[in-house]
Structure 1
């Protein structure tokens, strides 16, 4: 099994240097492809120089591609995957980076579940200065586990299967190509989630409950340029796509797509209220505010989040009270 790490970048050289360094420092050496979306900040000179230095040492892992004009994030991802030679692809945005054992742990988990098409891990959330802000939640039991293909979209629809952002996810290259790649019309607005939905048609999903990636939260994040209304509309579009892929065995028990749409409107209206955007909240909530089934879904989601937080607290207390440094890890069972 071979991995290709694809780093997409545009005018973020100081951050890109960190991403490249951590990709090259993997315990399992991997091909690293930098797709430069026509940067003007010295990125080309830096990466080409680094490629030459590595090649002098007989290391040909680093590959540089420069778009002749700015094409956007989604098209840059597609270009990178097209150039990749690995069986599996690990995406990294230039402001994110990965732990040294990221590819190694993913390789081990995939070897235990070769029919998988997509793999996700936990991430540490950091600020611009690499200060930890939190961690993404665990998904399911043990160190690693899998979800059969027929169950993935049902879990995604009910928000029980969160794959996460690109730095958390790896996928089989052939599944990506069959899925049609990233949709550039969604550039930086759910384009990753849209891809995970379609890749998940072609195999099982693996979740690794280890923080193998670092996700940067900062004011320059590209998705902040979209309004709440735009993000809501795309969120609804994603749920509609997931709905189409839900296995027939779940169709009788899942909420109607209209109920899910109203639930999302209530959810985003609450976000607007939190941001003190009263007009947007009122605009988003109507007429969903009159849909009792949507309120029921929202209440169930609140209860689920509350239970997860309580379980996290209990787990933390158990770790503190544990005297044994050795814990039994639950691995994937075939």
Structure 2
């Protein structure tokens, strides 16, 4: 199984060096593609020089591509996947980086589930000084959790299944291409989640309950600059997309789409309140149908966040040998 690591970058050379180092340091060597979205900070010169040094030693792993025009984050991801030759692709944003055994662990996990098209691991969130802030949550039981295709979107709808950000996720290149790639209308705002929804239509998912990636959290990040109302609007669009993908197996148990949307608005109102965005919270709640059904669903989602095991108890097929190896 061949992996390609695709690193997207734009004017963050200092951070890019770390991302490249982590990709080249993988315990299973793989193709590393740096896609530069028109940087003006010397990225071109540095990566080309690094590539020449490696080529002089007979190492052809590092590939560099510079976009002729600025494509934005989503377009740059699509360009990188188009250039990749691996059967699986691991995305890395330039400010994030990988543990040395990330690809090795993913290869082992995917090997136990030939029908998998998407694989995610836990991540350590760090600040700009690489100091740990938090860790993404443990999901299910054991080191590996396999989710059959029919369960994926239902679990995503109820937020039982967090695939995570690009640095946590790898996917089948063929499934990505069949899905149509990243939608540029969501650029930097749910573009990744939208892609996971589409890829998951083509096969199973694998979750690795080990921290194999590092995600940098920035004060005043680009995502946080979107108004709460705008983020809520996109979140509702994403939930509607997930809803349309739910397996017939769960259709009879699904809450109504209007109830789901109302429960999401309740959540975003509390999120705004937590950030002291009082006007945004009130504005969101005034537009919300505060029905008993919506409130019940909101509470159910909170209670159910750690209940993926219940959903999978009849269909989960965890490979015992792999679990023993990793525990």
TM-score category, normalised to shorter length: over 0.9
Task: Give the equivalent residue in structure 1 for 2:122.
Answer: 122
8 Å CA contact retained: 1:145, 1:331: no
Match of 2:277 in 1: 277
Q: Contact 1:32 / 1:61 at 8 angstroms: preserved in 2?
A: yes
Q: Deviations over 1:42-64 (max 9, x none)?
A: 11100000000000000010000
Q: TM-score, normalization: structure 2?
A: 0.93
Deviation at 1:287, TM superposition (A): 3.6
Query: 1:302, CA displacement in angstroms?
Result: 3.1
| 8 Å CA contact 1:142, 1:331 repeated in 2 | no
- Distance in 1, matches of 2:290 and 2:216, equals 38
How big is the alpha-carbon RMSD for the aligned residues of Structure 1 and Structure 2?
Answer: 1.5
- Structure 2 distance, partners of 1:276, 1:101, is 40
Distance between the aligned counterparts of 2:287 and 2:49, measured in 1? Answer: 58
Give the CA deviation at 1:277. Answer: 1.6
Match of 1:204 in 2: 204
Listed one character per residue, the Cα deviations across residues 226-251 of structure 1 (whole Å, up to 9, x for unaligned) are 11111101110011000011001101
3-state SS of 1:139 partner: coil
- Contact 2:9-2:34 within 8 A present in 1 as well: yes
Runs of 4 or more, structure 1, over 4 Å off, are none
Deviation at 1:222, TM superposition (A): 2.3
CA contact (8 A) 1:90 1:169 kept: yes
The match for 2:247 is: 247
Query: Relative to structure 1, is the Cα distance of residues 113 and 331 closer, same or farther in structure 2, using a 3 angstrom cutoff?
Result: farther
CA distance in 2, matches of 1:276, 1:133: 21
Alpha-carbon distance in structure 2 between the residues aligned to 1:20 and 1:29: 13
Instruction: Report how far residue 292 of structure 1 moved.
Output: 1.6
Distance in 2 separating the partners of 1:276 and 1:220: 15
Q: TM-score, normalised by structure 1?
A: 0.91
- Residue of structure 1 in register with 2:39 after alignment: 39
Cα distance 1:182–1:36, how it changes in 2: closer, same or farther (>3 A)?
same
CA distance in 1, matches of 2:125, 2:219: 14
Partner of 1:317: none
- Contact kept in structure 1, 2:109 and 2:322, CA below 8 Å: no
Distance (whole Å) between structure 1 residues aligned to residue 124 and residue 293 of structure 2 = 35
Return 5+ residue gaps in structure 2 as ranges.
308-320
- Which of 312, 323, 326 is equivalent to 1:330? 323
> How far does the alpha carbon of each residue in 1:48-96 deviate from its partner, in whole angstroms, 9 at most, with x for none?
0000000000001000000122210000000000000000000000010
Q: Which residue of 1 aligns with 2:61?
A: 61
**How far did residue 220 of structure 1 move?**
5.1
Corresponding position of 1:71: 71
Question: Any unmatched runs of 5+ in structure 1?
Answer: 309-327
Q: How many residues align?
A: 312
